[in-house]
Amino acid sequence: MKTTRRYFLKSLAIAGGTLPLISGAWRQALAAATGYPRLLHGPMAGSVGQNDINIWMRSSGRYQVSIQYGKQSDLSDARHSKEVQTGPENDFVAHINISGLEADTKYYYRPWVDGKPAKYMDNIPPFQFKTAPAKNAKFLLGFGSCARWQEFPDQPIWDALDRWDPDLFCWLGDNIYADTVEPGIMSDLYKIQRSVPELQGFCSRVPQLAIWDDHDYGLNNSDKDNPMKEESLKLFKRYWANPSYGTEQSPGVFFQYNYAGVDFFFLDNRYHRDSNGQPDGPDKSHLGSEQLAWLKDGLKASSAPFKVLICGGGWSYNPDSFGEDNWTSYRHERNNLFDFIRDQHISGVLLMSGDIHRSEANCIPWSAQGGYDLYEFASSGLAQDTPMPESIETPEIRLREPFTGGHNAGLLEFDLTQEDPVVKFNVINFRAQTVWDNPITIRASELRNGISSWKQKVDPELPAPLRADVKA
């Protein structure tokens, strides 16, 4: 007689059984009662290295899941990853690491659930990913922030990004708009965003890396006093497949990552953050002392021609915006970091940010302080409104007119094969069109102490009211 879920659970209750005590034949019966093996979410490619990749997915029950993979498109040369058990203790999520891969190589893969190809995915072409290059190379990085499913369940920006075929994609926070102190609600919003049809194919192929900001950490403008900070961190680790999360000494979502010769420092601007409105000074921190020390140590140790600091909130300073949700409210710590970069002769630093519901290309003229100009690339509004900026949102130097024309994503094109490595920044709209005629182009040689380069990069047609005065 065929076992049904209702019949099985009823018989289990009569027998006085509890799920933690189930084993052997009983566990097999329970698996049979949960329906046909399949994935509910994913697969999503996570952090990728030269010889390995992390794959994220979520199954429909208590199953052993794995990845079948190979270099042939028909998987005729396929191997299998180790199996991972899914269960309710981790919301049926699996993180599967595939190792022993060849660098700069395309692989095809198919999720397996309960010892066979996942249902509904067994009659479609295999998914694919590409490992990281083994040496300095050319590559394209996409990035963005602010995906508000509640208002924008249709998200065409993912199809636009797919047309550009980036090698990596970085989420810079507000990846969901949970705005809650209830872990169950936050978990639901992660799963809903992963179900967006336009996102699914993009995530399965392009490796995804992420940090958070306030709306996916807790409530608006949340800081270290967030009552669900531990639950938020637990959920973040569950739903993203980053290479690491914080350190043993300092919890959080920050990590360092190298791809094709570029060092990326993904920062956590929430877990250790003092209140925005607290008076600024040496005792006020945005990153926390341990994360800041970790960042400085990593910068000193890096020999990469470009070192990219990635943070949810904007880096630029405007005195009228003190108390707002950006680095202006933490100017003492920001300037201390910039002085450290100058004093330690750390070259090649670039800045990335999100949050502001538009895209911008800005500069912080640290050449006036004896260092070099620090360029900031901002993109926001993956699926969010993009209003015109207010006066308090004027940066120190504006290089391009802000893009406020709807959903958008940033693109950074790195070329480390040149003698003087170069990076170019532009933004695409939801039709996959670039929004500026001329990208911002920066060479590694311009990111050294004593060099001022920002004046040559300002769009000459930029309206004067949009250009901030430079203060020495």
Three-state SS across the chain?
A: CCCCHHHHHHHHHHCCCCHHHCCHHHHHHHHHHCCCCCEEEEEEEEEECCCCEEEEEEECCCCEEEEEEECCCCCCCCEECCCEECCHHHCCEEEEEECCCCCCCEEEEEEEECCEECCCCCCCCCEEEECCCCCCCEEEEEEECCECCCCCCCCCHHHHHHHHCCCEEEEECCCCCCCCCCHHHHHHHHHHHHCCHHHHHHHHHCCEEEECCHHHCCCCCCCCCCCCHHHHHHHHHHHCCCCCCCCCCCCCCCEEEEECCEEEEECCCCCCCCCCCCCCCCCCCCCCHHHHHHHHHHHHHCCCCCEEEECCCCCCCCHHHCCCCCHHHHHHHHHHHHHHHHHCCCCCEEEEECCCCCEEEEEECHHHHCCCCEEEEECCCCECCCCCCCHHHCCCEECCCCECCCCEEEEEEEECCCCCCEEEEEEEECCCCECCCCCEEEEHHHCCCCCCCHHHHCCCCCCHHHCCCCCC
Q: How confident is the model at residue 2 (pLDDT cuts 50, 70, 90)?
A: very low
Instruction: Report pLDDT for 26.
Output: 45
Instruction: Report pLDDT for 465.
Output: 56
Q: Is the pLDDT of residue 310 over 70?
A: yes
Q: How confident is the model at residue 34 (pLDDT cuts 50, 70, 90)?
A: low
52-68 pLDDT, tens digit per residue, is 999 999 999 999 999 99
Q: What is the average pLDDT across 213-230?
A: 98
pTM of the model: 0.92
Instruction: Report pLDDT for 188.
Output: 98
Q: Is the pLDDT of residue 136 over 80?
A: yes
Q: How confident is the model at residue 6 (pLDDT cuts 50, 70, 90)?
A: very low
Q: What is the average pLDDT across 43-52?
A: 98
Domains of the chain in sequence order: 1-33 (no CATH), 38-130 (2.60.40.380), 138-466 (3.60.21.70)
Rounded percentage of the chain residues whose pLDDT exceeds 70: 91
Higher pLDDT, 35 or 387: 387
Instruction: Report pLDDT for 5.
Output: 41
Q: What is the mean pLDDT of the chain?
A: 92
Q: Is the pLDDT of residue 40 over 50?
A: yes
Instruction: Report pLDDT for 36.
Output: 87
Instruction: Report pLDDT for 30.
Output: 46
Q: Is the pLDDT of residue 15 over 50?
A: no
416-457 pLDDT, tens digit per residue, is 999 999 999 999 999 999 999 999 999 999 999 999 999 999
